[in-house]
Amino acid sequence: MKDAQEAAVQAIELRRQIHRHPETGNHEEKTSALVEETLRALGLEVSRPMGTSVVATLRGAQEGKTVAFRADMDALPVQEETDLPFKSEVPGVMHACGHDIHTAGLLGAAMVLAKHRDELKGNVKFFFQPDEEDSGGAQRMIQAGCMENPRVDAVFGAHVDPDLPTGHVGFKYGKSYAASDMFIVTIRGKGCHGASPHDGIDVIAIGAQVITAIQQIVSRRTSPTESAVVTVGAFNAGTAGNVIAQEATLRGILRTLGPEMRMKTRRMFTDTVEGICSAMGAQAEVKIIESYPGVVNWDDMVDLAKNVAEDAVGRDRIHIFDQPTMGTEDFGYFIKDVPGAYYKIGVGNPDIGAVHPIHSPHFVADEAALPTLIGVHAAIAAAYLQ
């Protein structure tokens, strides 16, 4: 960890610079320029496959496999409300999800590994990804060829966790993050005067029945040992209090764990909506918009990462999570068909106010976790390429 401690000195300065100048998804111009400059100074091969993405390749002294690491770079449209001396200087934009730590940590790992390139048997690729928070930059990076030339054999990544103490590392075998789909349901009925509801088909009443019924997808049609979320976030219909609306729209999300549960929930959702609307004389248009695929860690890759982390920080600082999160993360695209694992790095420290959840305007990540992040990344790379 000595090399990681040394690299963390520069990584902390980079993190503060990135935090001070946050940029939202697909607008990471300054951030990606700083990343590219830092990587080129290390003598790495650098490319810009799409948009503001940055890919760097460190070729070891000997031929071998290729392992990749990913860090997301984008910030959130949040007004920062911390007292950090390096708080955001951009109104309404903040690194409230720790992507500044992710980026600086991976740059630090590149510093450590570049120092030992003559000892590496194989290659290390570094993916600096834009737009994790919105439309998902991971899939577009893959489509742009980041997993090729040289072809990647395994991918690892990490996310800060304010619920873990600084310097601790957390792992989850198998299903780790949920898959996400958005839905738009349009219910078409027959408008009429509010005093004569029998002359129309009331889409608001039908929509209310739909909202109630789809909750039973989770409570009565999903096993308690499985997880799913069905949430309606918007219900819009009508413009006047004395008129029965002709059309209503429901918008929301479906969250599921694993591809089988995802398809099953979509099917139950569509059947329920269409069935109720048909029974009440209305027409339903169900549009499901596929989003992130979920993160399913590969068990052997979790084993490798966990063993390496134990050696780096000590067994007492290793956590194994029993339950997945219903949150989403587009890292799942990278390990959908290629082995890999996604782990958590603790950044929680009550002494400095690092107690708030991610996406909060008060979120603070303890940058003292950077040596751990750097050291674990670098050690995993070395172990995988042995």
Whether the per-residue pLDDT at 1 is higher than 80: the answer is no
Longest distance between any two alpha carbons in the chain, whole Å: 83
* CATH, domain 179-290, list 3.30.360.10, 3.40.50.300, 3.30.70.360, 3.40.50.970: 3.30.70.360
Cβ burial, residue 55 (10 Å; 0-12/13-18/19+): buried
Could you give the 3-state DSSP secondary structure of residue 187? strand
Q: Do 136 and 290 contact (CB within 8 A), yes or no?
A: no
Amino acid at 249: T
* Cβ atoms of 40 and 107 closer than 8 Å: no
Give the helix/strand (H/E) hosting 209.
helix 203-214
Write the pLDDT tens digit of every residue in 167-213.
999 999 999 999 999 999 999 999 999 999 999 999 999 999 999 99
* 307 within 8 A of 116, measured Cβ to Cβ: no
Enumerate the domain spans of the chain. 2-176+294-384, 179-290
CA atoms within 13 A on the CB side of 25: 12
Mind giving me the DSSP string for 115-184? Answer: HTGGG-EEEEEEEEES-TTTT-HHHHHHHTTTTTTTTPSEEEEEEEEEEEETT-EEE--SEEE-EEEEEE
Sequence-ordered list of residues with C-beta below 8 angstroms from that of 361, at least 6 positions apart, any chain: 78, 79, 80, 81, 82, 94, 96
The Cα 258–Cα 307 span in angstroms is 26
pLDDT at 7 (0 to 100): 98
* 120, pLDDT greater than 80: yes
**For residue 135, what pLDDT is reported?**
84
Same fold, 2-176+294-384 and 179-290: no
Gap between the Cα atoms of 363 and 345, Å rounded: 15
The span from the CA of 40 to the CA of 60, in Å, is: 16
Catalytic residues: 292, 367
Tokens of residue 199, six digits: 């002359």
CB 254 within 8 A of CB 183: yes
What average pLDDT does range 305-314 have in this prediction?
98
User: Is residue 288 packed enough to be buried (19+ CB in 10 Å), middle (13-18) or exposed (0-12)?
Assistant: middle
Region of 289 on the Ramachandran plot (φ > 0 left; ψ -120 to 50 alpha; else beta): beta
User: DSSP labels for 246-304?
Assistant: SEEEEEEEEEESSHHHHHHHHHHHHHHHHHHHHHTT-EEEEEEEE----EE--HHHHHH
CATH class of 2-176+294-384: alpha beta
Q: Provide the 10 A C-beta neighbour count for residue 324.
A: 20
Give percent helix, percent strand, percent coil of the chain, each to the nearest 5: 35, 30, 35
Q: What is the pLDDT of residues 61-74, one digit of tens each?
A: 999 999 999 999 99
Residue with tokens 């957390």: 170
pLDDT attached to residue 271 = 98
Total-model pTM: 0.93
- 130 and 32 in contact (C-beta within 8 Å)? yes
Average pLDDT, the chain: 98
Model confidence band, residue 260 (pLDDT cutoffs 50, 70, 90): very high
pLDDT exceeds cutoff 80 at 111: yes
